[in-house]
């Protein structure tokens, strides 16, 4: 019996996680695995009901579970609140920090049937298979913040970018270990020509790299990396980078696959693994079953792989998704001429149909 905490959150979060849960149930039936799902409140939904974006009972649920399936949090309704109450800082960021989830894995693999669905030329994106390893509990997101009023008017505002040697070492190890199981190349992304933290990042990643003589290590400035990602994305295998660089580059990389609606993620390294789509709450799509649930469904596959060690089951979900695309079904974000438009629930149905077909 595997206990899975489900935290749907806000906006399209509940709609996409509902499909991910249905897909996991279908895989459970097919492979005879028992999953027990328990829902918890997080983000704006928790704030409205319980007065806090990360209530103690949700934290307890997460700690008592084998893995966490997360939707998305935030929305215009809560944007003006102080940081500790906002769904982002007080909800998901606090959850990542509390659980010690320092490694965020964001794979971008271009599905062959979608290579014409992207904004780039098909020959540029064809065959792309990269993995962004984003540091998740340090860096710009978690450094000291300040807003000091100035005598003459206005403010002096601060966001510190802080890393310790140990924090860089452990994320570098995650990247090298994963590269060993892939094409054995790590690109460490930094801004070492300007930032002190990046200079140390580069030193530490280089030192860790010596323990992995079988893995090729290269360093790249983040501005160049942004350009290389659209110019020649096939050069990348594993990228490892600071929290905010990883946030930005992963949204960009997701466009290679055709849509942010395909970007799955795993946040690991701490107490309980957390799995969430890389997209946000998309308030304009919420409540209409118009969102693409595939990022959430593929996050469910990562949950099986990384927290429950169910590789075959994970692969089954990934192949089912690809077959649905092969058959020509598309959610609105990926719609092209001659394809069949489907909504969130129908996309879930189609993926389940493939899983059941075997």
99 binds, among Mn ion, ligand IPM, none (CB under 5 to 8 A by kind): none
Q: Which two tokens stand for residue 294?
A: 């595939």
- 75 sits near ligand IPM (criterion: CB under 6 A): no
Helix (H) or strand (E) run with residue 125 in it: helix 122-125
Residue of 41, 58, 62, 88 that binds ligand IPM (CB under 6 A): 88
74 part of the interface to ligand IPM, by CB under 6 A: yes
Q: Which helix (H) or strand (E) holds 185?
A: strand 185-190
Alpha-carbon span 93 to 101, nearest angstrom: 10
Query: Is 66 one of the annotated active-site residues of the chain?
Result: no
Per CB under 6 A, which region of 26-34, 85-93, 205-213, 216-224 contacts ligand IPM?
85-93
- Give the burial class of 181: count Cβ atoms within 10 A of its Cβ; 0-12 exposed, 13-18 middle, 19 or more buried: exposed
88 annotated ligand-binding residue: yes
Q: Is 199 annotated as a binding residue?
A: no
Angle, CA of 5, 6 and 11, to the nearest 5°: 155
**63 within 8 A of 270, measured Cβ to Cβ:** no
Asked whether 16 and 265 are in contact (CB, 8 A), the reply is no
Indicate if 141 belongs to the active site.
yes
347 binds, among ligand IPM, Mn ion, none (CB under 5 to 8 A by kind): none
Q: Is 345 exposed, middle or buried (0-12, 13-18, 19+ CB in 10 A)?
A: middle
Backbone phi and psi for residue 158, each to the nearest 5 degrees, phi listed first: -135, 135
* Smallest distance, Mn ion to C-beta of residue 138, A: 16
> Would you state the structure tokens that stand for residue 61, as one six-digit string?
């649920």
Using the rule CB under 6 A, is 135 a contact of ligand IPM?
no
User: Least separation, in Å, of the C-beta of 56 and ligand IPM?
Assistant: 21
| 135 touching Mn ion, by CB under 5 A | no
By CB under 5 A, the residues from 322 to 351 that bind Mn ion are: none
Helix-helix angle 311-326:13-31, to 10 degrees: 120
191 a catalytic residue: yes
Decide: 105 and 132 in contact? Cβ < 8 Å.
yes
Query: Does 341 count as an annotated binding residue?
Result: no
The reply to whether 107 sits near ligand IPM by the rule CB under 6 A is: no
Is position 233 an interface residue for ligand IPM (rule: CB under 6 A)?
Answer: no
> Is residue 177 flagged as an active site residue?
no
Can you tell me which of 92, 131, 208, 351 binds ligand IPM, judged by CB under 6 A? 92
Q: Is 251 noted as a catalytic residue in this protein?
A: yes
Q: Residue by residue, what is the 3-state secondary structure of 131-167?
A: EEEEECCCECCCCCEEEEECCCCCEEEEECCECCHHH
Q: Cα torsion at 346, 350, 353, 357 (round to 10°)?
A: 170
Contact positions with Mn ion (CB under 5 A) in 212-271 = 247
Binding mask 165-194 for ligand IPM (x = CB under 6 A): ------------------------------
Binding residues for substrate: 96, 106, 134, 223
- Known catalytic residues are 141, 191, 223, 247, 251
By CB under 6 A, name the binding residues for ligand IPM: 74, 88, 92-93, 247, 278, 280
By CB under 5 A, name the binding residues for Mn ion: 247
């Amino acid at each position: 019996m595997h206990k899975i905490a489900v935290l749907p959150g806000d906006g399209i979060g509940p709609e996409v996680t509902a499909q991910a849960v249905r897909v996991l149930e279908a895989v459970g039936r097919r492979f005879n695995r028992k999953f027990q799902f328990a829902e918890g409140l997080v983000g704006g939904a928790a704030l409205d009901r319980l007065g806090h974006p990360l209530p103690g009972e949700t934290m307890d649920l997460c700690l008592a579970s084998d893995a966490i399936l997360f939707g998305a949090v935030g929305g215009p309704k809560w944007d003006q609140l102080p940081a500790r109450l906002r769904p982002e800082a007080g909800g998901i960021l606090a959850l990542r920090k509390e659980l010690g989830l320092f490694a965020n894995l964001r794979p971008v693999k271009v599905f062959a049937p979608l290579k014409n669905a992207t904004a780039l030329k098909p020959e540029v994106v064809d065959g792309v298979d990269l993995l962004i390893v984003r540091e998740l509990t340090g860096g710009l997101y978690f450094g000291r913040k300040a807003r000091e009023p100035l005598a003459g008017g206005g403010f002096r505002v601060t966001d510190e970018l802080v890393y310790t040697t140990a924090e860089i070492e452990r994320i570098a190890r995650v990247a090298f270990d994963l590269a060993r199981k892939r094409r054995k190349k790590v690109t460490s992304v930094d801004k070492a020509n300007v930032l002190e933290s990046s200079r140390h990042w580069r030193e530490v990643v280089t030192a860790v790299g010596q323990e992995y003589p079988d893995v090729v290590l290269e360093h790249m400035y983040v501005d160049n990396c942004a350009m290389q990602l659209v110019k020649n994305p096939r050069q990348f295998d594993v990228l490892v980078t600071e929290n905010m660089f990883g946030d930005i580059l992963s949204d960009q990389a997701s466009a290679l696959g055709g849509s942010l609606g395909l970007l799955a993620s795993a946040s690991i390294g701490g107490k309980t693994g957390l799995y969430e789509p890389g997209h946000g709450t998309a308030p304009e799509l919420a409540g209409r079953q118009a969102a693409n649930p595939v990022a959430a469904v593929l996050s469910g596959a990562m949950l099986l792989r990384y927290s429950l060690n169910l590789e075959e089951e994970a692969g089954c979900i990934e192949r089912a998704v690809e077959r649905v695309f092969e058959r020509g079904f598309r959610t609105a974000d990926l719609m092209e001429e001659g394809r069949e438009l489907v909504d969130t629930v129908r996309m879930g149905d189609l993926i389940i149909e493939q899983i059941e077909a075997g």
